[in-house]
Amino acid sequence: MDKNVIETVTETDFTALMLAVRDRQDKAAFAALFQHFAPRVKGFLMKSGTDAALAEDCAQDVMTVLWNKAALFDPARASVATWVFTIARNRRIDVARKARRPEPEALDWGPDSEPDQADIYEAGQETARLVAAMADLPDKQRVLIQRAFYGDLSHSEIAAETGLPLGTIKSRIRLALDRLRQSMS
């Protein structure tokens, strides 16, 4: 992993930018998000086996979806990076035309559910914490996680792989897990 790409900007700043896009259609905030995330979406798709030109087109599409569907962003449930990842993943599936991917039933959070500030902070920190945790992993373990998310490993290959540091990863986001459980109870 190239440690130079780990930005000093905190995830919370991205959350604030994303909320400016969601709530005020702030184009300057969008431009800042684009400059950070579009190259990452392109890099992610290229690592997933997409050629550079198509990956760049898809990065444009993903960022357009981020703008168009901004109303769906919930800062208490996911960091911006996580949200962008799910959009990029869905775009990759569309491009491959491999299969539909049925989505779980959406949770009804109720009309008045104002997200808790502590939850928003926790969700915002989650990516930075995970990036740091993954940078600390032995190369072999980190590569396995990356390959799983680039779509290189089937479910049975993931199941057969004993070197996946799931315990380490999960312990770093235990707070996030508890947060989600609380929100849902």
Partner 1 sequence: MSIRHHLSDPMLIAYAAGNLPEAFSLVVATHVSMCDTCRAQLATFEAVGGAVLAAESAALSDGALEAAMARLGAPEPALAMPKPKHTDLPAPLLDYIGGSLADVKWRSLGMGVRQAILPTSKGATARLLYIPAGQAVPDHGHRGTELTLVLQGAFCDATDRFGPGDVEVATEELEHTPVASSDGACICLAATDAPLRFNALIPRLLQPLFRI
Alpha helices, DSSP H, located in 110-173: 117-135, 139-149, 155-160, 166-172
CB of residue 89 to partner 1, shortest distance in Å: 4
Which of 17, 1, 173 minimizes the C-alpha distance to 9?
Answer: 17
Q: Does 105 bind partner 1 (CB under 8 A)?
A: yes
Length of the chain equals 185
Count of residues that interact with partner 1, criterion CB under 8 A = 86
Selected binder of partner 1 within 71, 114, 140, 162 (CB under 8 A):
71
Selected binder of partner 1 within 17, 20, 42, 76 (CB under 8 A):
42
Q: Does 176 bind partner 1 (CB under 8 A)?
A: yes
Q: Does 168 bind partner 1 (CB under 8 A)?
A: no
Tokens for 106?
């959406």
8-state DSSP, 69: T
Q: Does 9 bind partner 1 (CB under 8 A)?
A: no
Q: Whose Cβ is closer to partner 1: residue 9's or residue 117's?
A: 9
Helix (H) or strand (E) holding 130: helix 117-135
